[in-house]
Amino acid sequence: MKTIAIIPAGGKGIRSGSSVPKQYLKFNKKELIVYTLEVFQQNNLIDEIVVSVEENYINLINNLKAEYNLSKITRIVVGGKKRQDSVFEALKSVSNGSQNDLVAVHDAARALLPKEVLTNAINTAMHKGNALVCIKAKDTLAKGKKIIDSFLDRAEVYYVQTPQIFKYSVLMKAMQSAYQKNFIGTDESMLVKEIGEEVNIVEGSIYNFKITSTDDIDLFKKLISTR
């Protein structure tokens, strides 16, 4: 059984306020996506990395692979219009593997994934079949639009993160089913749940936040400056 990481990196990062997709912004002269890729490169439980990108960034990823010795990158594929499309293109590219291989999908813009979170998620998926990294909600949660309609029980609410790890066969089945139904999910766990699979929750980290806005960029800069 192998564990293959899929890093969808085709987003345009509009909310970051930059003309360059956020995953290619440089911090300390190193692209954000490199910080993410290095977490997987350095983990002994990861065998391969597949990156899906817009076509005009393929050369950049190849250059970064060489510059930072990201030897576990085995494939760079052209992504699709949506995240789901990009993950599917990457998934199809590893079809020559075992149906029981694990596939760990992780956002390119979650660059501070702690090693122990990744390791725990992979080990959980090895024993239970899948793993979804989440953190428990700590704040009071309200539902509504301009006024509060109701409150949610935070004891039963999680913030979903990545990686999201599934067997190749299950994730492929979930993806194919979603396209047949014209269903677009916000992440892989939603697609897998849609086909009736139970999804195991494993503990995430507040450091594993997705860099989306200018505030997130500022926070990331502060955190890496202390490392």
pLDDT < 50 positions in the chain: 16
Question: pTM of this prediction?
Answer: 0.94
pLDDT at residue 97 in the model: 75
Q: Which domains does the chain have, with CATH numbers?
A: 3-225 (3.90.550.10)
**What pLDDT does 80 receive?**
92
pLDDT at 110: 98
Which of 103, 82, 124 lies closest to 40, judged by CA? 103
- Predicted confidence at residue 17, as pLDDT, reads 52
